[in-house]
Structure 1
Amino acid sequence: MLEIIERIPMKDTTINSAMAYENYGDYYALFIGKYMNHSIYRSLLQFDLPTLSGHGLVEKVELLLYVIRNDETTDAKEFEVYRVTEIFDENRVNYANTPAFDKELYKIFTINDEINTYIKVDITKLFSDWYSGKYPNYGLIIKAVDENKNNLVGFYSKDAQEAAFIPKLQINFNQYMRINKKKDVQNIGKDKLAPEKYYSLGNDSYEAGDYDEAYDCYKKSLEECTSNEIYVPKLFFKMIMVCEKLGKYDEALKTIEQGLKYYPNFTDLVFLRANLLYLQGKTFLAIKSLHQCINMGESPPHINFLAGVESYRTFHTLSQIYYDLEDFDEAYHYSMMALHKNPKYAAPLHMIVKILIDKQRDIYDIKSKAEDFLGTDLDGKDYMILGNVFFEQRKYTIAYEYFSKAEEFINNNLKISYHKGMCQLYLKEYDKAYNCFVKIKEGALYEEAVYMEALCKILSLNMRNAVQLLNILRNPENNHRRMIYYGLKDILEGKMMMPISDKRKESEGFLNIIFDLLDILIKAADPEIFEKSLQLLNLIEHDEVLLKLAKLYYKHRFYKMAYQEFTRSIKLFDKIDLEGLGMMKKALEKMNNASVEVF
């Protein structure tokens, strides 16, 4: 039976000879060819290869690229595909540090007058060489055969808003004996499957969000596998991730130690260990593991899944830990080190601004310093970064100004309209927020924008228009969310609300939707409106309601209220977790050491 498997890129970016030190890691498009006699563009892509289970034959593997620009439609343009031979970081790579690629040409393909359509490039041989282990998978590079001739072609990248048109790897796998996946899962423990099959089933369950099933499959695979199999390092990695999802921290730590026995240079595992130790409150052991990551250096290519764990990512994690310890000088130091190692990594800039705000530095000085980190000639992408940085710190007026500056460089960008709308929403300028959201007529943000439009009307007490907007969203896939927004409207109108569900399992589907809405309302609504909105929690029956409410209060620095809800969660439901215990302890410290912000 023929199975068509699709993968989207884990990395993709363009490099440009005319701007040799510029990185385009988060740009919406990929380009290849020469532009205006001076800019040579090449594109890099890397895909995570699937695990092909069962017996079969890979008949064809094609790279699908959606053409959005074709400058020379009257000419036939030839392009070539090469195998990249070293790791590249899509957020740091540029033309000046182009990764090495093999001299062996894997494919030449031709583009004629294609536009607004997919082209297909057969890379079956390259896929086979990767999958068989003949060569490690570092991705591929596409370039023009003749880079002296103007022949620019552009495609959507994985960062495009048009998710339906991003690059794809399409694998035609003819499976001789297809085993039903659902039956396989049901028969685990009854029929003995190959370890690689369990791993594949675990991946399917993980992607579907069924972490318990993924855990069972990965555990079976680990029990049966041998360390020389290609997929086993990633199996260890995935097992640790799923254990963390399920709160099985001790088992995750044991799995890490087991993995390090097989792969002592597996820096990623040491980094994961540091994060788990910190979650358990073992701060100094976590710091010790992070320093071990730096000393170990980068993992060998076949066990390297997390970029930067030997440098900038670890420095940033150290910064986060020292910030939580309120050692702001040390936190600032490690943020600077992270930024120095990778100037394109935005997370340290967020931390630096956060520290300076907490130190009550002058806001104009903070803005100036943040801009200096990004260079002298700021562009739309830089202003977007600054907007996001100050948005995260709840400086919504400043964030709005930066998003508006970004708009001067990037026209008709729906993401900017959405961000500007959220700034106005949190500034309680509901009409202005609505006018931003209403500009979004299509694309991945459309549904979210309509919900925010409806919320603006609800908070303005314009319930008739709110209902009209919510009715736009009538379909089974978003029915739960629509019900909750209707519930908020009815609560604010003083209507009697009947419970949606009195069963925990059914309530599960509404729990996160309610708390996502409360997370918005705690900032966007007046205190009395937020208090009323808490009645949404009466619509469901779930023993984690108070625990999640406590964490929400803690996140927004209402420490006294957080502590009270943690206490109620323990008394009424006997519910607390490691994260909650840590928050509860810190909330008590905050209450004892400083005046506490309350409603």
Structure 2
Amino acid sequence: YRPASSWNTSYVSWNKRDKNVAWKNAGGDWYDKNGVLQGSTPYATFTIRGSAFPDNRYYELDVTELVKEYTSGKYENTGFLIKARNENNNYIAFYSNECGKETQKPSLNITKKVSSENIPVVPEIIEKITLNATLTGAIDNRLREASPDAVYQDSTFIDLGGINDAGYRDMMGFDLSEFNNTTEVTSANLFLYWYYPAGNTRPDDTIVEVYKPASSWNTSYVSWNKKDKNVAWKNPGGDWYDKNGVSQGDTPYASITLKGSELPDNKYYELDVTELVKEYVSGKYENTGVLIKARTENNNYIAFYSIECGIETQKPKLQLEYLI
């Protein structure tokens, strides 16, 4: 059905369509294909028999007429309201956009016919669809200068900067294997949740920077001195390339500044790593993850939560927007 009005994904519920704004009808207001409010003639329908088992595949609904009404401007695009004709002893579930697997997310396939004297050979084109994905860090490790051979893969935090004349850096990796060189990444942002030093300022600012590790590394063995079992970094603390392709360069792919006078405020901070992720997804470079460090490492120690922190809303995450 066509939702009768716009709705806010941050507040929509059975009773409300926006903050402090109720539906006229609990469970949602809609128009059917004939323009009848709360009508019963859907734009699209299919039947899944009670005797049928879920078979882990896509099912298709022809929403051509509704999408035409939206794209023509006849109606405001208010999305879809999906419901069962009756709601008793017939519960089922489909994967959502947040399921984490591109091959199982809802998808909308649109074919647009074009007619032009200048392009008579092309009867139709497929429009690209913008999709979003949120990935949590598959692996992360701390690098601690004061314990250069120690492996920190299970810490509940990642840290960087410097304290007591010792530096701290981090390695992080995300699985991008579901994307390939046909995927057009339009944005990629790394989110880190800042929580330490709680209630304390720092003598110096912490400029957080992201670089491309120069080679693959092993989460079971990586440390300040080594990238794998019995394999040392060329440079203690990690080998990297900067945005300009310079080994151990100082032009990061992404950077944010946390002032020494600022207190940790228990929220996410964002680093725009679009260019680096594009290089990985396109196949230009092997996906070696990210090396995160502070520009200077003295009197500016801070910590973010790691993938092992145990709380989904505080873990590092990579948010992608891309076209297919």
Q: TM-score, normalised by structure 1?
A: 0.27
Between Structure 1 and Structure 2, which shows a larger proportion of strand residues?
A: 2
Q: TM-score, normalised by structure 2?
A: 0.49
